[in-house]
Every structure is written in structure tokens, then in C-alpha cells.
Amino acid sequence: MGVFGASALVLIGVVWWTTVGYLEQQTNATIEAQVTGLVEQYRQRGKRGLEALIRERIAVSTGVPTVYLFADRDLKPLAGNLDTWPAGEADAEGWYNFSRLGEDGRRISVRGQVFVLSDGRHLLVAQDQSRLEATRSLINEAFLWALGGGLLLALAGGFLMSYSVMRRIEAINRASREIMTGRLQSRMPVRGINDEFDQLSENLNAMLDRIDSLIEGVKSVADNIAHDLRTPLTRLRGRLENLTARPGLDEELRGELTSAMTEADHLLATFRALLRIARIESDTNEREWSDVDLHPLLQDAWELYQAVGEEKEIVVHLGTASGRLRGDRDLLFQALCNLLDNAIKYSGAGSEVLLDTTASGDTIDITVADRGPGVPAAERDKVLSRFYRSASVTGIPGSGLGLSLVSAIAQHHGGRLVLTDNNPGLRATLHLPALPPAEATPVVELAFAGAIP
């Protein structure tokens, strides 16, 4: 709108200057021609001839009113349609400007030229400027209306263009947000009109197709390796178990075989986690969803890991256990077990762990907080990826898949896993969509004293 307005002002200025300037030039040229003609007649016909010519022109004057005044050296009128020499002033270009009373009693602006004849007499030829001023005012008014209307049209056009552009950009942003939430199959919208936004969307879609194929290739390789190695590892573990069961086996050798079996179990657990993450991320998990009551779910997880915590002298507290959501109960229980297992694993003896829930609008937050070493802020996004382990937990056994599995389960349920500081320790929160109030049924809240604030 600003650029359009500036351009319109420049254009209107040029047109105004050209139009009004042309009219003024025409008026000036007419006055100069009359002065030249009258001076020539004075030279040829003298004083009486000039007086007669002035009276003749006044008598036949039509169109724009013209002022003629022939005066002596003392500016006393000799001939013309003015009774006295008008009081006025000359401008820088020598034009004489004054005013006189019109027939309707209003003051009329007059512009003319004064010529001093050879014998000292004065000749004034001027024209009424009322029509020129009226024309100028009409042009100014027309230009103001044109500028105002043009600016309104520019504002409306700019709004419509901005709305159209922002709507296309918002569609691309919406698709981008869906992709960032893990829906890699989403694509940028294409209208089919082959404009710049369609070309951008097509390029982004081609890039996403390529990225998706590469990611699927990497996942497929990892999943195939996990699937293919699980069977021989199971057979290997079975043979180790058979060897361990043989009578008369040396105790030292039996201990080594037991350690090997433990490592095999760890590898099998890793491969099972990889395969389960792959099934969850591909939405091919075979379990059916149902309405899940968090009260018994958290109660079961708490009872299971309360005993685990007692072995390490860690107290596991259960806060408010209420709320309902829709999802896979087994997957949600797996996520809680992983979070509680990590919290107990990385907490020292005499520490505390809290399992709690809070509801906020259409969201339920399930929180597991510990007093362990925590995760640095710079690594909190990284620990959600596969096999990444923070440097703060070096030396503690683990595969780096626990939080990855929890994050995949959260995304599978339309939520997300967020890690924050517990000062000290780590606070892992599952943000999950809750059932609408009309679908939820009241549950009894279960609280235990001594929860971590």
C-alpha cells in the first residue's frame, strides 16, 4: 500500500504539474501575445489608435475575462475597463498580480503583464484567474478522490494478496508441524496451478520422499538385523544354558557361562526393544486400543517397582493416580516401567522416586521424578534417539533404548515425552491426550504421604 501510494503520488504530481502548468503557460502566452500586438499597434497608430483598439477589444471580449488598462506616466487611466491603476505586486518573473471586485461582489485574482511604452505611458494586460483556479481546484479534488480510492483499493488488494499468501504458507507450516510430530508420510499441499508455492511444495515433497526412503532404508536394515540375529542369539543362549546345567562343571567355568548368558539376555532385550520401536513407529502394533484408567495402571507399576526400589534402599512414592485416556494399556505400562526402571537405576541409595499424574484441560501428564544425576539440558533431545547415552551415566549398564521406546509410545498415543530438571535429578513427563469429560468416569484418587514436592 505504501509503495502504491508513493507511486500514485508521483504519477499524480506529474499529471498535475503538466496539466496546471500547461494551462498557466497558455494563459501567459495569450497575455504576452496581446501585449506584443498592442505595443506594435501603439508604434504604428499612436495614442489614439491604441485607445480605439483597446475599446474595440473590450467590446468584443468573450471567453476568459481580460483586463486592459492604458495609463499615462502618472498611472492615470486613459483607456480600459479599470477605473484606477490596480494596487498589486510583481513576482520574480515580472508578472503583475492583483485582485478586483467581480460582478457578484467577490474578490477575483488577476494576473497580467505591465509594459512601459517608449514615451513613459503604461500598458497593462491581465486575465481573470478565477476559471484557472476553479480548474485547478477541480483537478486537485479529482486527484484526492483518485488517490484515496486508489489507496483503499491498494489496501483491499494487499489484504487479499496477503491473506492468500499467508493461507498457502500456513498450509505448508501445518504440514511441516505434522511431519515434525513424526508423521513422515504427510506431504505439502499442492493446488495444481504450478505457481511458486506449488513448485516449492513439489520440491519439498520430493525431498521428503527421498528422506523418507533413506530413513526407511536405515530402519529396515536395523530391524532386519535385529530380527535375523534374534533367532541365533536365542539358540546360543539355549546352548549356554544347557552347558551350565551339566553336572560336574567347574564353578569358574559355570560363572563365565552365566555371565555369557546374561550378555545374551541383554542383546535379546535390545533386539526386542528395537523391533517394538519399529512396530510402534510404523503403526503396525497389533494391540487394540481401549479406555485406560490410570488408577490401576499406575498402581500396578508402583507396586512392581516399589519392591525393586527397596532392594536399592530407594523409596518409590505414588502421588495422585487418576484420569482416563484412550490407548494401548500394555504399551503405556511398558513406558511407565521404563521410566521407573531408569529412575531407580540412576538414583543412589537412600534416594526417592515419585510417580505422579496431573490433568490440565485436555491433557494428562504422567511424571516420574528422581534425585539422580539428571541429564544436561543440551542432551535431553539426544537421549530420546536410539542408542544415545548421556556422559553422566557412563559405567551404568544400559542399551540407550529405554527413553527411545517411551518417546515412540508417547508419539503413538498422540503425545510426547518431555525431560526437565528436577533440581537435582531428572523429571520425565508423558504429555498424553485425555478423554473428554463426557466420556470419563470418576475415579478415586490415591495419594501417599512423603511425595517429592
d(CA 425, CA 436): 33
d(CA 225, CA 220): 8
Per DSSP, the chain holds a count of helices (H) and strands (E) of 7, 13
d(CA 242, CA 245): 5
State the cell numbers at 437.
469429560
How would residue 452 be classed by pLDDT, with cut points 50, 70 and 90?
very low
pLDDT digits (tens, 9 = 90+) for 349-404: 888 888 888 888 788 888 899 888 888 888 877 877 776 666 666 556 666 677 88
Interval 278-303 mean pLDDT = 74
- pLDDT reported for residue 218: 65
- pLDDT reported for residue 443: 38
Instruction: Give the count of beta carbons closer than 10 Å to the beta carbon of residue 66.
Output: 19
- pLDDT reported for residue 446: 32
d(CA 128, CA 99): 9
d(CA 188, CA 441): 40
CA quadruple 74, 80, 82, 85: dihedral, nearest 10: -20
Chain-centroid distance of CA 391 in Å reads 37
SS3 content of the chain, % helix, strand, coil (to 5): 55, 15, 30
Fold of 290-433: Heat Shock Protein 90 (3.30.565)
How would residue 442 be classed by pLDDT, with cut points 50, 70 and 90?
very low
Is residue 187 within 8 A of residue 208, CB to CB? The reply is yes
Fold of 196-281: Helix Hairpins (1.10.287)
Range with lowest mean pLDDT among 55-59, 233-237, 321-325, 449-453: 449-453
- pLDDT reported for residue 450: 30
Say yes or no: do domains 2-137 and 290-433 share a fold: no
- Give the percent of the chain with pLDDT over 70: 83
pLDDT digits (tens, 9 = 90+) for 169-206: 898 888 888 887 767 778 888 888 888 888 988 998 89
Long-range contact list for 336-340, CB < 8 A, 24+ apart? 336/297, 336/298, 336/301, 336/366, 336/368, 337/301, 337/304, 337/305, 338/402, 338/403, 338/405, 338/406, 339/368, 339/406, 339/428, 339/430, 340/301, 340/304, 340/305, 340/308, 340/316, 340/368
Length of the chain: 453
Could you tell me whether strands 352-360 and 315-318 are parallel, antiparallel, or unpaired per DSSP bridges?
A: parallel
d(CA 277, CA 287): 14
Structural domain boundaries in the chain = 2-137, 196-281, 290-433
CATH number belonging to domain 2-137: 3.30.450.20
Q: Enumerate the β-bridge partners of residue 111.
A: 97, 127
pLDDT digits (tens, 9 = 90+) for 257-281: 888 887 777 777 766 666 666 666 6
Range with lowest mean pLDDT among 210-224, 235-249, 314-328, 415-429: 210-224
DSSP 376-404: -GGGTTGGGSTT---GGGTTS---S-HHH
φ/ψ (deg, to 5) at 31 = -65, -45
Q: Which 3 state secondary structure label does DSSP give 328?
A: coil
Interval 144-166 mean pLDDT = 86
Could you tell me whether strands 426-433 and 363-369 are parallel, antiparallel, or unpaired per DSSP bridges?
A: antiparallel
d(CA 28, CA 438): 88
pLDDT digits (tens, 9 = 90+) for 101-132: 776 677 888 888 888 888 888 888 888 887 77
Average pLDDT over the chain reads 80
Is residue 359 within 8 A of residue 321, CB to CB? The reply is no
Entry pTM:
0.46
